[in-house]
Amino acid sequence: MNEKKLDGKVALITGASKGLGKAMALALAEAGATVALVSRNLEQLNESGSAVKAADGDARVFQADVSDEDQVRKLERDVAGAFGKVHILINNAGISAEELGSGKVSTTTPDVIHRTFETNFFAPVALTQALLPLLKKSDAGRIVNMSSILGSQTLHADPNSPIYGVKSLSYDASKAALNSFTIHLAHELKDTSIKVNSAHPGWVKTDMGTDAAPMEIPEGAKTGVQLALLGADGPTGGYFHLGKALPW
């Protein structure tokens, strides 16, 4: 990205201390955005901010646990005070409380389900609600919910799909719920300039994806960045991987 498409625009990314969040921050900063990096881990967050600045980008760090209601309210106040508006929100923070593919219904505990939904669903919903007034102040807001192909109900139900045998109740259900949030919010905002989409980054060599994954982190960041850079004629209310629509 040589042209600075995002000069003067603010992109807020959660889970930005490492992995996909850090990679998306670097890409959006290269496109000219000021990136607001959000994470619980301040040391790693500062390292991400330093990496952006070392690449001649503009970064601000905001330490916050987005699953904590009070911290979300403080984050909104801090971001409003720093920038006045937000142009791009990438809900990237996510966890898997169990090894992916191992979450049998019969053995998944309520605690695992609650913890997974707290970070993967309730937190992005609450943060988006808090930041929506700032997104509405932008000329064309973009909301990207980092989902997973494992959130596809259609593919999970299809014995011929590549994910049919890879099931984790808590993680898969949390991403399906996040996809539902994308659909509902896109419908609510359909008459505005804000676009809302879900992204499947791919199976990526992150802490969650492990070194067994075939995709490197910069490649995995591409789908989220593409959706953040959508033009006025781009889609909303969709579910994508590298430009291709996925079945819900």
- Of the residues 171, 181, 203, 240, which is catalytic? 171
Residue 173 forms part of a structural domain: yes
Structural domain total, the chain: 1
CATH code (residue 28): 3.40.50.720
Residue 84 lies in a domain: yes
Q: Which of 197, 203, 188 is nearest to 226 (CA)?
A: 197
162 falls within a domain: yes
Angle between the N-to-C axes of helices 123-136 and 69-83, in degrees from 0 to 180, rounded to the nearest 10: 20
Is residue 59 one of the residues assigned to a domain? yes
Position of tokens 């911290």?
Answer: 71
Is 87 inside any structural domain? yes
- Quick: pLDDT tens for 108-162: 999 999 999 999 999 999 999 999 999 999 999 999 999 999 999 999 999 999 9
Question: Higher model confidence: residue 23 or residue 204?
Answer: 23
pLDDT digits over 155-208, tens only? 999 999 999 999 999 999 999 999 999 999 999 999 999 999 999 998 777 777
The whole model's pTM is what? 0.95
Q: What does the pLDDT read at residue 2?
A: 39
Print the domain residue range for 241. Answer: 10-245
Within-domain flag for 190 = yes
pLDDT value of residue 203: 75
Residue 38 in tokens: 């959000």
Whether residue 203 contacts residue 157, with contact meaning beta carbons closer than 8 Å, is answered with no
Confidence label for 3 from pLDDT (cuts 50, 70 and 90):
low
Rounded mean pLDDT of 14-24? 96
Q: How far apart are CA 28 and CA 163, in angstroms?
A: 31
Mean pLDDT of 13-29: 97
Task: Return the percentage of the chain with pLDDT > 90, whole number.
Answer: 86
The predicted structure's pLDDT at residue 1: 35
In this structure, the strands spanning 167-168 and 88-91 are unpaired
The whole-chain average pLDDT of the chain stands at 94
State yes or no: is 164 an active-site residue: no
What pLDDT was estimated at residue 208? 72
Strands 244-245 and 238-241: antiparallel
Q: Which one is predicted more confidently, 218 or 64?
A: 64
DSSP E strands in the chain: the ranges are: 10-14, 34-39, 58-63, 88-91, 102-103, 142-146, 167-168, 195-199, 238-241, 244-245
pLDDT in tens, 195-233: 999 999 987 777 777 777 667 989 999 999 999 999 999
The answer to whether position 130 is within a domain reads yes
Rounded distance between C-alpha atoms, residue 166 and residue 93, angstroms:
22
Among 37, 29, 36, which Cα is nearest to 5's? 29
Amino acid (one-letter) located at 69: E
* Alpha carbons within 13 A on the beta-carbon side of 88: 32
Residue 5 within any structural domain of the chain: no
Decide: 61 and 87 in contact? Cβ < 8 Å: no
Banded model confidence at residue 240, pLDDT cuts 50, 70, 90: very high
